[in-house]
Chain A
């Protein structure tokens, strides 16, 4: 069983569309994250939820809205997609506490045309 799974793996869409990426973890972790990795491989945190509560909200356009229906799921909805949103988006989870070791999904490659 995949510990952190995200869907879809690839997403190709037109500018201006709205899209969602789903993430689920079966590790029983309390904390989940969304990261954006650009073409230069730089990985930047976007959001973090702990037990369905938003705890980290980096400087991200409000077109991006995370939603956590329960602590095992953290979805990312993006409105009015722009060319600059093209990237690989990773979901991750961690147990929290002192180590913060993160477990990543396989990523969603978003291409905005």
Chain B
């Protein structure tokens, strides 16, 4: 079944550095979404990029989408301790409002 796969599985960087996470998926999509999950909390939607967009920004977040390679990246610039979380990409199925989540990237920001 269609599923996003994030890479890397885990990432540790120093505060202030940029963090990049990648997502690959298998079939055609209308949009791709990124979510954040802080420890012990529910997922929070960060950004949605449509299939006809190549790049989208939201604050310190930058998302790119390459439909020819079926991949997306999430860049967090000037990372902060509060960015420590798991990040998931999600791709919708073309029916029933169902979206499939990847396995996530665990990001740890070191002080």
- Which A residues are closer than 8 A to B by beta carbons? 4, 31, 40-43, 45, 48, 50, 55-56, 90, 92, 94, 96-107
Nearest-Cβ distance from residue B78 to partner chain A, whole angstroms: 26
From B86, B96, B101, B106, A56 is in contact (CB under 8 Å) with: B96
The CA-CA distance from A23 to B96 in the complex, in Å, is 20
A55-B96 in contact (CB<8A): yes
Known: A92-B43, A94-B97. 12 other contacts (CB 8 A): A41-B86, A56-B96, A56-B98, A92-B42, A96-B97, A100-B31, A100-B99, A102-B45, A102-B90, A102-B99, A105-B42, A107-B42
Report whether over half of chain B's contact residues are helix, strand or loop; otherwise say mixed.
Answer: strand
- A101 contacts which chain B residues (CB < 8 A)? 33, 45, 48
Residues of chain A lying within 8 A (CB to CB) of residue B92: 100
Number of A-B contacts (CB under 8 A): 62
Interface mask (B14-41 → A, CB under 8 Å = 1, otherwise 0): 0000000000000000110101010011
Query: How distant is the Cα of A94 from the Cα of B99 in the complex, in angstroms?
Result: 11
A111 to B: closest C-beta gap in Å = 14
Question: Contact string, B87-111, partner A, CB cutoff 8 A, digits 1/0?
Answer: 0101010001111110110100000
Given A99-B31, A99-B48, also A50-B42 (CB < 8 A): no
B44 within 8 A of A: yes
On whether the beta carbons of A40 and B96 are closer than 8 Å, the reply is: no
Shortest distance in angstroms between A7's beta carbon and chain B's nearest beta carbon? 13
Q: Pick the most buried of B41, B42, B86: most chain A CB atoms within 10 A of its CB.
A: B42
User: Is the Cβ of A107 less than 8 Å from the Cβ of B41?
Assistant: yes
List of A residues within 8 angstroms of B100 by Cβ? 45
A104 to B101, CA, bound (A): 13
Complex: A42 Cα to B106 Cα, angstroms: 12
